[in-house]
């Protein structure tokens, strides 16, 4: 808890300096305090849970699926560790392992063996190469150490008053990222999260998925689960790597139209022209008004219009750009050529997960 106490002191000191300079805003301070309070609640809950797990002889067994490789059966879940760290931004990390004695040996398509090995290593799995394996065959050996690292990482996002949750290697190798509102972190949320961590019957994922605006929970589940992947023999190397990189997704909603972008999507164009990816028939919009690209881990909005583009994060200030670019974070609204307001019928809602 010490690091969060220190964070609060830093926030109070920053507020005092801002008050003295006349730059302080009550709304910003309230959002900061809400984020800190949520981090405190999460840390306190996980701290107590880990303490009890060291006293209780829990026997959690997991069959762990590695896409396009196979399944490691009867792994034991344990070796829990909780950390609070600051690297520019405050993080709370719960980590544990799925483990058993020995290695697991698989045979995979020789065409994609190297990429699979790279993807697994990128996600912290220990993959062993067999130097004496036969060359030129249709199949290649892949030996995986039965030690799977799992992490839950909570990170503050003071700029828009939210938290990020990244879950790594829980069911399969790779990560998923979610946006949390501070008021979402209540006793019921923490209880469902605890059940999820301990692999008990729970509704934790439904609570997270229901945060995407513009969709009912059941419709969103259909959207998120509809990303069918072709079999290994049909995959390019980039598609193989996509199995291990699921954390960057951007959802855009305009009237009844919903679009999903990922870190692997090509650039996405807004504007009045009929060939745009999202057609916005506003008198203030240019034919090809703005575009979104994924660069260095972020979705970036680039204006290329006469009237400029307005971006407003939920709970944050509106930003105006013209011939410039701005990274998107959290959730909020994009408006082409006109300020985002209730009377604006052409606002685009965005949500990053």
Domains of the chain: 45-242 (no CATH), 249-352 (2.60.200.20)
CA nearest neighbour of 42 among 84, 85, 80: 84
Cα–Cα distance measured from residue 177 to residue 162, given in angstroms and rounded to the nearest whole number = 13
What is the per-residue pLDDT for 223? 30
What is the per-residue pLDDT for 91? 83
What is the per-residue pLDDT for 262? 81
Neighbouring residues of 207: CB distance < 8 A, sequence distance ≥ 6:
184, 189, 192
What is the per-residue pLDDT for 39? 92
What is the per-residue pLDDT for 2? 57
Residues 200-225, buried b or exposed e (16+ Cβ, 10 A)?
eebebeebbbbbbebbeeeebbeebe
Cα–Cα distance measured from residue 96 to residue 152, given in angstroms and rounded to the nearest whole number = 9
- Locus of tokens 């916005």: 280
CA nearest neighbour of 63 among 98, 103, 107, 105: 98
Cα–Cα distance measured from residue 49 to residue 58, given in angstroms and rounded to the nearest whole number = 12
Residue 109 phi, psi dihedral angles, 5° rounding: -60, 130
Neighbouring residues of 116: CB distance < 8 A, sequence distance ≥ 6:
68, 69, 108, 142, 240
Q: Provide the residue-wise pLDDT of the chain in tens; the chain has 353 residues.
A: 455 566 556 656 655 655 555 544 445 566 778 888 899 999 999 999 999 998 887 889 999 998 888 999 999 999 999 998 765 567 899 999 999 998 999 988 887 788 788 788 878 888 876 654 445 568 888 899 999 999 999 988 766 788 889 899 998 888 888 888 898 999 999 999 999 999 999 989 887 764 443 333 333 333 333 333 333 333 344 445 555 655 568 889 888 788 888 877 889 999 999 999 999 999 999 999 999 998 877 889 999 999 999 998 877 788 999 999 999 988 889 999 998 887 788 999 898 87
Cα–Cα distance measured from residue 173 to residue 243, given in angstroms and rounded to the nearest whole number = 8
Residue 82: how many CB atoms within 10 A of its CB?
Answer: 17
**Residue 150, both tokens:** 């799992």
Q: How many helices (H) and strands (E) does the chain have?
A: 7, 18
Cα–Cα distance measured from residue 289 to residue 187, given in angstroms and rounded to the nearest whole number = 44
Q: Reading across the β-sheet that carries 278-279, which strands appear in turn?
A: 278-279, 268-271, 290-295, 298-303, 325-327
What is the per-residue pLDDT for 193? 95
Q: How far is CA 78 from CA 54, 126, 165, 197, 300, in A?
A: 9, 18, 21, 11, 39
Q: Please classify residue 345 by burial: count the beta carbons closer than 10 Å to its beta carbon, then call 0-12 exposed, 13-18 middle and 19+ buried.
A: exposed
Task: Evaluate if pTM is beyond 0.85.
Answer: no
């Amino acid at each position: 808890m010490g690091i969060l106490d220190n964070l609060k002191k830093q926030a109070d000191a920053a507020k005092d300096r801002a008050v003295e300079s006349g730059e302080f805003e009550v709304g910003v301070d309230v959002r900061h305090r809400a984020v800190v309070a949520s981090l405190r609640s999460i840390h306190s809950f996980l701290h107590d849970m880990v303490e009890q797990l060291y006293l209780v002889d829990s026997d959690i067994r997991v069959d762990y699926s590695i896409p396009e490789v196979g399944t490691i059966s009867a792994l034991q879940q344990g070796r829990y560790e909780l950390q609070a760290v600051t690297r520019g931004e405050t993080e709370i990390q719960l980590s544990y392992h799925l483990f058993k004695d020995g290695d697991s040996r698989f045979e995979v398509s020789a065409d994609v063996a190297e990429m699979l090995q790279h993807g697994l290593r990128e996600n912290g799995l220990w993959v062993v190469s067999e130097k004496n394996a036969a060359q030129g065959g249709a199949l290649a050996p892949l030996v995986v150490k039965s030690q799977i690292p799992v992490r839950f990482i909570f990170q503050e996002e003071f700029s828009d008053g939210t938290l990020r949750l990244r879950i790594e290697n829980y069911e399969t190798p790779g990560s998923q990222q979610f946006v949390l509102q501070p008021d979402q972190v209540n006793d019921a949320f923490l209880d469902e999260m605890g059940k999820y961590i301990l692999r008990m019957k729970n509704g934790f994922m439904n609570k997270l998925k229901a945060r995407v605006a513009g969709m009912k929970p059941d419709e969103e589940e259909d959207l998120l689960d509809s990303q069918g992947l072709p079999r290994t023999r049909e995959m390019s190397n980039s598609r193989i790597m996509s199995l291990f990189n699921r954390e960057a997704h951007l959802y855009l909603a305009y009237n009844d139209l919903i679009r999903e972008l990922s870190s692997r999507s090509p650039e996405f164009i807004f504007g009045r022209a009929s060939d745009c990816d999202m057609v916005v028939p506003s008198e203030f919009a240019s034919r090809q008004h703005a575009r979104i690209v994924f660069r260095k881990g972020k979705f970036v909005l680039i204006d290329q219009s006469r009237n400029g583009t307005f971006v407003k994060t939920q709970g944050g200030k509106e930003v105006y750009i013209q011939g410039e670019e701005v990274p998107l974070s959290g959730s909020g609204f994009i408006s082409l050529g006109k300020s985002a307001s209730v009377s604006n019928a052409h606002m685009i809602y965005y949500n990053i997960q």
